């Protein structure tokens, strides 16, 4: 049997065929369109510089103006093409504008409201174990001895803890369905431009993005790496890239359940275990809407998150975040931090952001008004409906009992076949020594 030439080559050099197909693929993404009317107005330079400083950004608006002035001068075509690319790169570094109210907060978030404060009082009556300790006691997860297998910060959820993960997903998806969200399954592998257009850098050695080896562009076009998605927000935004949507059909509310991949880790004691990991499951909310609708959508997302967590009986804080915590894309952002008694701290379990037209300008997402046929850039809003690891930590640290059982919140029981308690797994897990079990029984 004679194999095609490319198959023989791939057999001789594993991965060559995959790299060849990746390298020859060209992603037909629209070029970014920036608000140059505002950004290139010399009168706005002080405000833009102040915004960059408030948000701890890296943009240089004076360099942007310098490059724009060179383009306006008479220069050759080759130099013009080079400067145009440089100008676009510098414009892309500039952060979104900041909501005026947020600028008054300084460096600290404003506490909007506290929920279920009695839960914190209840957990103060006795010692509560951290998530990792109570899970080991109950034989429900494994995170040790995985360095040579799945890598640092990897984990297995087993038995009823794995069931609890699925219950949280189904509980959240049901809640969003009732609020008219569309469920979409999204890809985990995305072009680097999609990720960067959503506000996350894929360049440099220190970033949060995993790149796929060999995923580069052909020699006659700019590099276009393929990356693992850090959140389904990116794929959902990319779903609308280059499209013009009828304004009367907006807002569109979407949800996705996906794996999220993050390259960063932390050595902080309070972030040990599954608090910050390389991959996890998340239910994401995303909306694309008209320019005048995103502020309302942000408040809607905020209310949904509060309702979902409030029904679980968690004690949490709703925070309006300061400019320095917004990142590049958000105009305004709310965080939710739940009380985690095992850690004796509040930990972030959710956020929601109004990105106005930041992502839409970079992805070419427009809306058309049927009345006058005019188009404008859409606005996008995103929010975390359920990030599984942090939710598991909050639930197990808050609802553990003295007999090493976990009380299942009433709202989750229909998704766990009516189960009221999660009990210790009696079967001895593989690779665990009897001496280790005896030690665990004493703590």
pLDDT-derived band at 45 (thresholds 50, 70, 90) equals very high
Residue 127: its pLDDT value, please? Answer: 87
Q: Helices then strands (H, E): number in the chain?
A: 15, 17
pLDDT the model gives residue 360: 98
pLDDT exceeds 80 at position 377: yes
Residues 6+ apart with CB under 8 A from 169: 257, 281, 283, 386, 388
Q: Residue 225: its pLDDT value, please?
A: 83
Q: Is 203 exposed, middle or buried (0-12, 13-18, 19+ CB in 10 A)?
A: exposed
Residue 288 or residue 208, greater confidence: 288
Strand 244-246 to 156-157 pairing = unpaired
Q: pTM score, two decimals?
A: 0.87
Encode burial over 224-245: b for 16+ CB neighbours within 10 A, e otherwise: bbbbbbbbbbbbbbbbbbeeeb
pLDDT at residue number 272: 76
Kindly tell me if the per-residue pLDDT of 13 is higher than 70: no
Q: Any idea which of 294-308, 413-427, 429-443 has the lowest mean pLDDT? A: 429-443
Residues 391-402 have a mean pLDDT of 96
Q: Is the pLDDT of residue 27 over 60?
A: yes
pLDDT at 301: 98
How much is the pLDDT for 221?
A: 54
- pLDDT, residue 149, reads 66
**pLDDT on residue 19:** 40
Least confident interval from 147-151, 227-231, 401-405 = 147-151
Is residue 93 predicted with pLDDT exceeding 90?
yes
| 335 pLDDT more than 90 | yes
Rank 85-99, 136-150, 194-208 by mean pLDDT and report only the highest.
85-99
Distance (Å, rounded) from C-alpha 12 to C-alpha 121?
Answer: 65
Q: Write the DSSP string, 363-390.
A: HT-EEE-TTT--EEE-EEEEEEEEEHHH
| pLDDT recorded at residue 392 | 97
How far is 279 from 43, CA to CA, in rounded Å?
45
* Mean pLDDT value across the chain: 87
Place of tokens 């239910």: 283
Distances (CA, A) of 317 to 120, 272, 310, 340: 12, 22, 11, 12
Structural domains of the chain, ranges and CATH numbers in brackets: 36-93 (no CATH), 100-422 (3.30.930.10)
For residues 8-14, give the mean pLDDT.
32
Split at pLDDT 50, 70, 90, the class of 142 is confident
Confidence of residue 353 (pLDDT cuts 50, 70, 90): very high
Lowest model confidence (mean pLDDT) among 20-29, 181-190, 270-279, 412-421? 20-29
Closest CA to 348 of 311, 304, 314: 314
Q: In the prediction, which pLDDT does 144 show?
A: 79
pLDDT above 60 (res 81) = yes
Q: How far apart are CA 371 and CA 378, in angstroms?
A: 17
Are the C-beta atoms of residues 311 and 391 closer than 8 Å to each other? no
Report the Cα–Cα distance between both ends of the chain, in Å, rounded. Answer: 65
Q: Determine which of 83-92, 259-268, 312-321, 333-342 has the lowest per-residue pLDDT on average.
A: 259-268
Q: Which pLDDT value is given to residue 124? A: 77
| 150 pLDDT above the threshold of 70 | no
- CB atoms inside a 10 Å sphere around CB 2: 6
**Residue 372 banded pLDDT, cuts 50, 70, 90:** confident
Q: How far is CA 226 from CA 19, 196, 210, 213, 229, in A?
A: 11, 12, 9, 8, 9
pLDDT bin (cut points 50, 70, 90) of residue 203 is confident
In angstroms, the CA 397 to CA 380 distance is: 34
Could you tell me how many residues make up the chain? Answer: 443
pLDDT (0 to 100) of residue 147 = 67
C-alpha 95/C-alpha 201 separation (Å) is 13
In degrees, rounded to 5, the angle at the alpha carbon of residue 300 between the alpha carbons of residues 335 and 376 is: 100
Strands 345-354 and 379-387: antiparallel
């Amino acid at each position: 049997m004679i194999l095609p030439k490319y198959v023989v080559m791939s057999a001789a050099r594993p991965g060559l065929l995959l790299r060849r197909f990746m390298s020859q693929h060209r992603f037909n993404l629209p070029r970014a369109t920036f608000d140059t009317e505002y950004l290139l107005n010399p009168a706005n330079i002080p405000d833009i510089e102040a915004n960059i400083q408030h948000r701890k950004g890296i943009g240089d608006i004076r360099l942007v103006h310098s490059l724009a002035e060179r383009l306006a001068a008479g220069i050759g075509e080759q130099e013009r093409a080079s400067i145009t690319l440089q100008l676009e790169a510098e414009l892309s570094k500039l952060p979104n504008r900041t909501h005026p109210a947020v600028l008054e907060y300084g460096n600290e978030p404003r506490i909007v409201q506290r929920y279920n404060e009695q839960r914190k009082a209840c957990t103060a009556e006795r010692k509560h174990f951290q998530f990792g300790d109570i899970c080991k006691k109950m034989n429900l997860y494994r995170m040790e001895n995985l360095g040579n297998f799945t890598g640092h910060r990897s984990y297995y959820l087993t038995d009823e803890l794995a069931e609890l993960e699925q219950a949280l997903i189904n509980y959240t998806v049901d809640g969003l369905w009732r609020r008219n969200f569309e469920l979409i399954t999204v890809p985990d592998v995305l072009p680097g431009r999609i990720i960067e257009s959503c506000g996350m850098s894929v360049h440099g050695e220190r970033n949060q993005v995993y790149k796929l080896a060999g995923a580069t562009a052909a020699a006659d076009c700019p590099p276009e790496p393929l990356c693992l998605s850090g959140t389904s927000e990116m794929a959902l935004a990319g779903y609308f890239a280059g499209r013009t949507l009828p304004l009367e059909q907006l807002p569109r509310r979407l949800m996705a359940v996906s794996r999220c991949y993050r390259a960063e880790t932390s050595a902080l004691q309070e972030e040990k275990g599954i608090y910050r990991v390389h991959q996890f499951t998340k239910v994401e909310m995303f909306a694309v809407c008209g320019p005048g609708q995103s502020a309302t959508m942000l408040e809607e997302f905020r209310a949904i998150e509060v309702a979902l967590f409030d029904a679980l009986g968690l004690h949490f804080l709703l925070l309006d975040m300061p400019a320095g915590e917004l990142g590049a894309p958000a105009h305004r952002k709310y965080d939710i931090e739940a009380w985690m008694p095992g850690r004796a701290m509040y930990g972030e379990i959710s956020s929601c952001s109004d990105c106005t037209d930041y992502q839409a300008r970079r992805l070419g997402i427009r809306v058309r008004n049927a009345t006058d046929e005019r188009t404008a850039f859409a606005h996008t809003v995103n929010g975390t409906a359920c990030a599984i690891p942090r939710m598991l930590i909050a639930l197990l640290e808050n609802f553990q009992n003295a007999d090493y059982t976990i009380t299942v919140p009433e709202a989750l029981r229909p998704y766990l076949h009516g189960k009221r308690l999660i009990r210790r797994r009696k079967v001895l897990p593989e690779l665990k020594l009897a001496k280790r079990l005896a030690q665990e029984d004493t703590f």
